[in-house]
Amino acid sequence: MTNSAKPTPSVVKAETAAPSTISSSANPAEIAKFTALADTWWALEGPFRPLHKFNPVRIDILKRRLAAHFKRNAAAERPFDGLSLLDVGCGGGLIAEPMARLGFTVSGVDASEKNILTARNHAARMSLDIDYRTARPEDITDRFEAFDVVLSLEVVEHVADRGIFLNAAAAPLKSGGMMGLATLNRTMKSLLLAKFGAEYVVRWLPIGTHDWRDFVKPSELAHDLIRAGMNAPDFIGLSYNPLADSWNENKDLSVNYMAFTTKP
């Protein structure tokens, strides 16, 4: 378990990080795609409506898993006071903000400057002190092993090089810290539901949001995490119930799933 003393904020406030000297995990086409949507992150009926529907179950899972790992009371108002968290690929702040409300000292990085501006402005309106900057994980070289938690949700399927991305995202995590990820499995079911169904049938997502070929099998993610120096991950499945219009945690990893791993 990590030291629970309140840490120094882990990412300095800056508009843009210094360029990385290693190969990039960033996919320029994906950055451009989400930059074009940046103004709609907080529109409940906008392009990110599925994430807003998705968020309550994801946050509940995160709260329970992180509380168990750090031996905190998940029922407390701010169970994670004194712990630091980095949200990699934070977008407009849909995860960073609730994590800050739960007590974490939160930093968020995203490769899109417009996403960061949206996140920063929304956090200011909510009176939340979240340290955002435009950066890729490989740009965070000045805070090695600075965070108790690293999260990267719905990001790994959009990066150019998953190995580089996971190595860089794991580097700022403290020994004994926890990493949480969420992504989509590459199965025929996910092709039908998460790609064609979500984009072309029910129009939950703009057409072209996902490339099914970039979806990640749990075995592939586990392999890459272990190569990045992390322990073998645990997996949680997430499924949508159209009758209840709700998401539920289960053991089905065939479409959406989350992974939790720790750093030795």
What does each of the 264 residues of the chain score in pLDDT, given as a tens digit?
444 443 333 333 333 333 344 467 767 765 776 677 667 778 877 777 777 888 999 999 999 999 999 999 999 999 999 999 999 999 999 999 999 999 999 999 999 999 999 999 999 999 999 999 999 899 887 777 799 999 999 999 989 999 999 999 999 999 999 999 999 999 998 888 765 445 434 445 566 666 778 899 999 999 999 999 999 999 999 988 877 778 899 999 999 999 999 999
pLDDT of residue 12: 34
Nearest Cα to Cα of residue 14 among 141, 137, 140, 132: 132
What CATH number is attached to the domain comprising 155? 3.40.50.150
Which helix (H) or strand (E) covers residue 68, if one does?
Answer: helix 49-70
Nearest Cα to Cα of residue 39 among 134, 152, 122: 122
Q: What share of the chain is helix, strand, coil (3-state, %, to 5)?
A: 35, 20, 45
pLDDT of residue 17: 37
Which domain covers residue 78, as residue numbers?
Answer: 28-262
pLDDT of residue 194: 66
pLDDT of residue 37: 65
pLDDT of residue 39: 74
Distance between CA 56 and CA 229 in Å, rounded?
30
- Does 212 reside within a domain? yes
- Does 2 reside within a domain? no
- Does 22 reside within a domain? no
Name the residue with tokens 């586990």.
222
Name the residue with tokens 């799933």.
257
**In the chain, how many domains are there?**
1
- Does 15 reside within a domain? no
- Does 135 reside within a domain? yes
Nearest Cα to Cα of residue 157 among 197, 194, 203: 194
Distance between CA 176 and CA 19 in Å, rounded?
29
Cβ contact 238:60 at 8 Å = no
pLDDT of residue 5: 41
Distance between CA 228 and CA 241 in Å, rounded?
35
pLDDT of residue 41: 79
Strands 105-110 and 84-88: parallel
Sheet holding 84-88, edge to edge: 131-134, 105-110, 84-88, 147-153, 173-184, 256-262, 234-241, 246-250
Measure CA 203 to chain center: 23
Q: Amino acid letter at 36?
A: A
- Does 52 reside within a domain? yes
pLDDT of residue 38: 66
- Does 95 reside within a domain? yes
- Does 23 reside within a domain? no
Distance between CA 48 and CA 227 in Å, rounded?
32
